[in-house]
Copies of this chain bind each other. A is one copy, B any other.
């Protein structure tokens, strides 16, 4: 059981009809993707051809900020706001899609390959949670 799942199980009030497995998975992916994007941006900075990677770095930085904000929000259940949750999940899925696509363009660099994979994982987790919210 991941720590996010364990924390979810300790919430003292009603979580509503949320799919706990999908919620916990999405929380975990949001923080993991924030870390991977931050590391990828920095790895890009150390590549010889950093000048060709500036859009990738920018996408990484945005994705890290948005994934973190989304992970923080999903970790809270008190006074749940369904519309805001959906809007952030949509924005997060979109950030992960953009960043994943850009990283996948130069996946001969292993940091971009790994980061693209994590962005796909996080995008999927956001979409699956969104679908389960109805």
Where the two chains meet, the residues of A that have a C-beta atom closer than 8 Å to any C-beta of B are 3-4, 6-13, 27, 31-32, 34-36, 38-43, 45-48, 50-51, 54-59, 61-62, 64-66, 68-69, 71-73, 75-79, 81, 83-84, 87-88, 90-91, 94-95, 98, 102, 109-111, 113-115, 118
Contacts and interface: CB of A to CB of B under 8 A. Distances in A.
Copy count, this protein chain: 4
Contacts of A98: 81, 84
A93 to B, nearest CB: 9
A75 B3 contact: no
14 contacts: A7-B35, A7-B40, A7-B115, A10-B111, A45-B57, A45-B78, A56-B79, A58-B79, A59-B81, A62-B81, A66-B88, A68-B68, A68-B69, A81-B98
